Structure 1
């Protein structure tokens, strides 16, 4: 009678493989970010990104996707401040804004978050703007991001209104439009990149400006 032999089952190290995949994804996105900013979206090919990331072209497609998907991921992760997109309501600063009781505190929390976001987002956002003129998928993404930002500012305006601290002569839509225009990447670039303001100076100015523009003056 033959004697059966039990061979140990080969164990795959899933955590290690997952970390390797995450590292590859980070490398691909970092390469895409560098090249989109340096050369522009149109002038950058997937082969360029693969070469900069030191991976095969097929790896770029498998890890993230085509160029429009790469650009979307760069925009979403820059906004989220994480390796993957985080829905607005789940972002830490949004939670803290909603928990704050005064409009002044809400504005301060938002501006602090915005300063961090724009340092990551502004260069990528301008790459997207330029790409939107030539690529239909990028044009759709540009419109989507802009509309989403406007919608979120209407929610923010309503949240501010609920504190009772806002001026009565401004509608929520006016409040939202003012914030929407001043939190734009274009506004950040004008003051920080073109006029040489520090991020800290920009944040202090924006907090003061929104306080003066939007809130009922304190009666001392």
Structure 2
């Protein structure tokens, strides 16, 4: 009678150990990518920093590009929980907000708050894509996911009935896509020294002026 209980316990323990290994690998990779860059970071080095076998790293992440994508996803979400961004509380709060200007302000406040940690990972992927086909696939995936997110956001804004006359949902999506790109943060904050707060206010005002009546 005790055998099934023991198997469940062993399975649970293995699953928890796998989750802990994953967290340690992601933390190690994030630090190494930021410190050394994508090309100079090797998977055995990630394994050593995480305190796991290199086979454990490859079991969790097929290759370095997949690991970079996972680092990006965790950085955006703030955790490694299996909850998509669309299901997060801040998105739900934006969706129920009736004012389109306030929706934009709420989103840009969130974006400015995470940009200092998220944008460097995006730029790593963008730069790595030039020399690594696997990284290029990951960068394309990241861009596609961003476009999808902005498509939903545009539809939400259009549904308020307060978008400027003559603008389609695709037009609004493209404006959001352009301002959301990491290049804006790179230019304004990394090159010109703007604070994330100023960057967020600039994007808020620019998007409101561009898409709302």
What's the TM-score, normalizing by structure 1?
Answer: 0.84
**Alignment counterpart, residue 93 of structure 2, candidates 91, 96, 108:** 96
Residue in 1 that maps onto 2:171: 174
What are the ranges of 5 or more consecutive residues in structure 1 without an aligned counterpart? 1-7
Within 2, Cα distance between the matches of 1:164 and 1:13? 56
User: Which residue is equivalent to 2:71?
Assistant: 74
Superposition RMSD in Å: 2.4
- SS class of match (2:161): coil
Alpha-carbon contact 1:25-1:63 (below 8 Å) kept: yes
Alignment of 1:187-198 (within 5 A): 187-198=184-195
1:14: Cα distance to partner? 6.7
Q: Rg bigger for which structure? A: 1
1:50 equivalent in alignment to 2:63? no
In structure 1, distance between residues paired with 2:160 and 2:19: 42
- Distance across 2 between alignment mates of 1:16 and 1:147: 36
State whether structure 2 residue 174 is matched by structure 1 residue 161.
no
CA contact (8 A) 2:179 2:207 kept: no
Give per-residue Cα distances to partners, 1:126-173, cap 9 Å, x unaligned.
111122122222211211221221232122112101112111133322
CA–CA distance in 2 between the matches of 1:57 and 1:42? 17
Matched, 1:61 2:58: yes
Distance change in 2, residues 1:150/1:63 (3 Å): closer
**Is residue 41–residue 127 contact of structure 1 (8 Å, CA) maintained in 2?**
yes
In the alignment, the residues of structure 1 paired with residue 108 and residue 10 of structure 2 have an alpha-carbon distance, to the nearest angstrom, of 43
Higher relative contact order (CA 8 A, sep 6+): 2
Query: Structure 1 residues 16 and 200 mapped into 2: Cα distance closer, same or farther (>3 Å)?
Result: farther
Aligned to 2:207: 210
CA distance in 1, matches of 2:157, 2:126: 30
Tell me what 1:4 maps to: none
User: Partners in 2 of 1:74 and 1:108 — Cα distance?
Assistant: 27
Instruction: Tell me the residue number matched to 1:3.
Output: none
Question: More helix by proportion, 1 or 2?
Answer: 2
Alignment equivalent of 2:117, drawn from 99, 116, 120: 120
Q: Are 1:108 and 2:90 an aligned pair?
A: no
Aligned residues: 210
TM-score normalised by the chain length of structure 2: 0.86
